A and B are shown apart, each in its own frame.
Chain A
Amino acid sequence: MQWFDALIQGILLGGMYAQYALGMALMFGVMRIVNISHGDLVILLSLIGISMASAWGIGPITVMVALVPLAVLMGWVLQKAVLNRVVGSDPLPSLIATFGLSLALQNLMLQIWSANSRSLPGGGIESRSIEIGGIYIGLLPVIVLVVATGLTWGLDLMLKRTRFGRALRAAAADVEAAAMTGINPRQVYAVATAIAVGILGFAAVFQALRSTVAPADGGAQLIYAFEAVIIGGMGSVWGAFAGSMVLGIAQAIGFRIDPGFGVLAGHIVFLIVLATRPQGLFGKA
């Protein structure tokens, strides 16, 4: 029973990680770029959300409505001002640029919000839970998982069915051929990054509701997103979703064994997958 409970909690935790991982999978898929400031952007958005909530006395849903468009805008600006200049076959420039951005963002947040941990008051939603057969399931984690599933489904549908999705897949397959078919790659990239960071707007609210956030937490979120993408297998958004579940379960079970072992258990599963199935659990070889 205890292990079944850990499994459930792990899946719920995976819902949170999926919200970080989707954007990373999308950006890497189309541009071969990893944005090192990915996690810092989540934290920045969370802190902005917390400040908005306390300044204007607004609830989490209103915060989300304000934060997601802001996140989309941030992604757009990030691509136009930074990433479009460093996208290319050499991974170094994009890594260094986003690394510098990460360092600057982290310390900027430290200046503005101090090193303290904060959280977003959810008006009681964060502590409500449902009991099913002796297992208590938090309402908020269920909402997080449902939203994560919805985002994954929506993103997958967009990639498969829409004009933009086809353009994005074409640019991911062969960017020069895409341009020779009339696609403006930089435009596609800007929208892709806007979507990737926009998803972080949802993640930011849920992260701040579920637990606390502090300026130095971004690195951990980046690592979880990365592990989820690699475990799941690159190349599909459902792969990233499934990888998030595996990572969440590994951490939850590890945590049951020993509280100091939770995060480490996730890393170990990641390393095992890398050693035995480098294309990911659900990826094609």
Chain B
Amino acid sequence: MTDTSLSPAAVLPEVTVHRQTLSGRIALTLAALAVAGLALMPWWASTGTIRMVLELCCYLAVAQMWNLLAGYAGLVSVGQQAFMGASGYALFVMAQTFGIDPFLAIPISLLVPAILAIPCYALLHRLDGPYFSIGTWVVAEVFRLVASNMGWLNAGAGMSLTVMKQYSAFERNIAMSFLCAIMVLLTVGGSYWFLRSRYGLALIAMRDNPVAAASQGVNVARLRFLVYVAAAVGCGLAGAVYFMAQLRINPPSAFDPRWSNVAIFIVMVGGIGAIEGVLIGTLIYFIAERWFGAYGASYFVVLGILTLLVALYARTGIWGMISKRWDAPWFPIRRRLVDTNR
């Protein structure tokens, strides 16, 4: 017997770690083109289209944040609108009341959801499972009621972003398109980067089994907290961008539960725990909104029933069904060991 045959390195086949796949490379290229397309909207789209795409991108961003919370961290929030409204108001106050440049105010306004998320989480994490969810809703209601009662937020009447008048319509379109592209890059691209990092590995372990993950050294409590704060900032960014485009904010619109409704629909129908699911869900929501949005209440009845049916019969959503049949992820996160000698 020689030494080499005893050493484990010789017994094990030589492997390399593969993380990217063909489908992943194609999807990544398409995604890069799409983000570039978003940034260049003023040169190919009308103002109306830009507004529509921007709103859709806000839904995409909020849905991906909800996916991070519910799909990976096990934190089912129905109150993310709290942070959208908070940063929206922060932006309006800074730009309108204190005269800070509105585009500079956007990144600063993200500090508000980040800071508010800390005490919110400190309180809410004491609530058990489903009670956590209702707790997030109470927090959003508290934010709305506080905003409705605050004189310097103009109480129930709300505020307008008149400072934006200093820019021409075309300049505003350029700004909004860039912001839109940055928002998608940060929320969806950022999630992808996060999930591929070593935190992502821990997060996926936690999604599959929190107890086992904790026993393997994953600090579940800290990771949950980080995800909660990150999701608050992500939703805050969507809020700031959305309300800047709207030019108006008031308490009912700032803290509208509709955002949660739509985010949950998108993630559950598209497929929870996967970025691909959020993209599919957003696309479905977009088509449904265009075709059936005019039906108002009955449209939401169908949305609600679909969400119910997915929870009962198809928990992994459309992407779950697709990925069971074809193993071709758009945003591969898994690490694969490939035998180099074969």
The A-contacting residues of B in range 42-82, CB under 8 angstroms, are 70, 74, 76, 78
Residues of B within 8 A of A223 (CB): 134, 137-138, 141
Number of residue pairs across A and B with beta carbons under 8 Å? 133
Residues of B within 8 A of A95 (CB): 76, 78, 130, 133
Interface pair B304/A103, CB less than 8 Å apart: yes
Residues of B within 8 A of A91 (CB): 76, 129-130, 133
Interface pair A82/B312, CB less than 8 Å apart: yes
Q: Say which residue of A86, A230, A275 sits within 8 Å of B131 (CB atoms).
A: A230
B183 to chain A, nearest CB (A): 26
Residues of B within 8 A of A107 (CB): 297-301, 304
- Of A28, A86, A270, A274, chain B has the most CB atoms within 10 Å of the CB of A274
B303 at interface (Cβ–Cβ under 8 A)? yes
Interface pair A111/B297, CB less than 8 Å apart: yes
Q: Say which residue of A99, A108, A226, A260 sits within 8 Å of B138 (CB atoms).
A: A226
Q: Which residue of A lies closest to B155 (CB)?
A: A260
B35 to chain A, nearest CB (A): 30
B96 at interface (Cβ–Cβ under 8 A)? no
B29 to chain A, nearest CB (A): 33
Assembled-state Cα–Cα distance A101/B302 (Å): 10
Q: Which residue of A lies closest to B74 (CB)?
A: A92
The A-contacting residues of B in range 95-120, CB under 8 angstroms, are none
The B-contacting residues of A in range 51-103, CB under 8 angstroms, are 82, 85-86, 91-97, 99-103
Interface pair A103/B307, CB less than 8 Å apart: yes
B310 at interface (Cβ–Cβ under 8 A)? yes
B27 at interface (Cβ–Cβ under 8 A)? no
Assembled-state Cα–Cα distance A101/B307 (Å): 8
Interface pair A103/B126, CB less than 8 Å apart: no
Residues of A within 8 A of B124 (CB): 274
B269 to chain A, nearest CB (A): 10
B33 at interface (Cβ–Cβ under 8 A)? no
- Of B74, B149, B300, B302, chain A has the most CB atoms within 10 Å of the CB of B300
Among A1-9, A129-137, A149-157, A261-269, the stretch in contact with B: A261-269
B196 at interface (Cβ–Cβ under 8 A)? no
A32 at interface (Cβ–Cβ under 8 A)? yes
Assembled-state Cα–Cα distance A82/B128 (Å): 22
Q: Say which residue of B123, B306, B307 sits within 8 Å of A271 (CB atoms).
A: B123
Interface residues of chain B: helix, strand, loop or mixed (majority): helix
Residues of A within 8 A of B257 (CB): 219
Interface pair B130/A93, CB less than 8 Å apart: no
Assembled-state Cα–Cα distance A82/B310 (Å): 12
B163 at interface (Cβ–Cβ under 8 A)? no
B261 at interface (Cβ–Cβ under 8 A)? yes
Residues of B within 8 A of A105 (CB): 304
A47 at interface (Cβ–Cβ under 8 A)? no
Q: Say which residue of A85, A100, A226, A274 sits within 8 Å of B304 (CB atoms).
A: A100
Residues of A within 8 A of B126 (CB): 274, 278
Interface pair A34/B133, CB less than 8 Å apart: yes
Interface pair B308/A82, CB less than 8 Å apart: yes
Assembled-state Cα–Cα distance A61/B308 (Å): 34
B220 at interface (Cβ–Cβ under 8 A)? no
Assembled-state Cα–Cα distance A264/B133 (Å): 19
Known: A93-B311, A107-B298, A108-B301. A267 touches B141 (CB 8 A): yes
Assembled-state Cα–Cα distance A274/B303 (Å): 34
A261 to chain B, nearest CB (A): 7
The A-contacting residues of B in range 230-267, CB under 8 angstroms, are 257, 261, 264
Assembled-state Cα–Cα distance A105/B311 (Å): 16
A96 to chain B, nearest CB (A): 4
Interface pair A86/B137, CB less than 8 Å apart: no
Residues of B within 8 A of A258 (CB): 149
Assembled-state Cα–Cα distance A85/B311 (Å): 9
B268 at interface (Cβ–Cβ under 8 A)? yes
Residues of A within 8 A of B20 (CB): none
A33 at interface (Cβ–Cβ under 8 A)? yes
Assembled-state Cα–Cα distance A34/B126 (Å): 16
Interface pair B304/A93, CB less than 8 Å apart: no
Q: Say which residue of A99, A111, A219, A274 sits within 8 Å of B307 (CB atoms).
A: A99
B160 at interface (Cβ–Cβ under 8 A)? no
A213 at interface (Cβ–Cβ under 8 A)? no
Known: A96-B311, A99-B78, A104-B305. A222 touches B134 (CB 8 A): yes
Interface pair B312/A97, CB less than 8 Å apart: yes
A270 to chain B, nearest CB (A): 7
Assembled-state Cα–Cα distance A234/B134 (Å): 15
B315 at interface (Cβ–Cβ under 8 A)? yes
- Which residues in B have some Cβ–Cβ distance to A below 8 Å? 70, 74, 76, 78, 123-124, 126-131, 133-135, 137-138, 141-142, 145-146, 148-149, 257, 261, 264, 268, 272, 297-312, 315
Cβ-closest 8 pairs across A and B: A104-B304, A100-B307, A103-B304, A100-B308, A34-B130, A91-B129, A97-B311, A107-B300
15 new A-B contacts at CB < 8 Å, known A261-B149, A274-B123: A82-B308, A92-B76, A96-B76, A97-B307, A100-B304, A100-B306, A100-B309, A102-B304, A103-B261, A104-B305, A106-B304, A223-B138, A226-B131, A268-B142, A271-B138
Instruction: List 21 A-B residue pairs with CB atoms under 8 Å apart, sorted by A's residue number.
Output: A34-B130, A86-B312, A95-B78, A96-B268, A96-B310, A100-B303, A100-B306, A100-B311, A103-B304, A106-B300, A107-B297, A107-B299, A111-B298, A111-B301, A258-B149, A260-B145, A261-B149, A264-B146, A267-B138, A274-B127, A278-B127
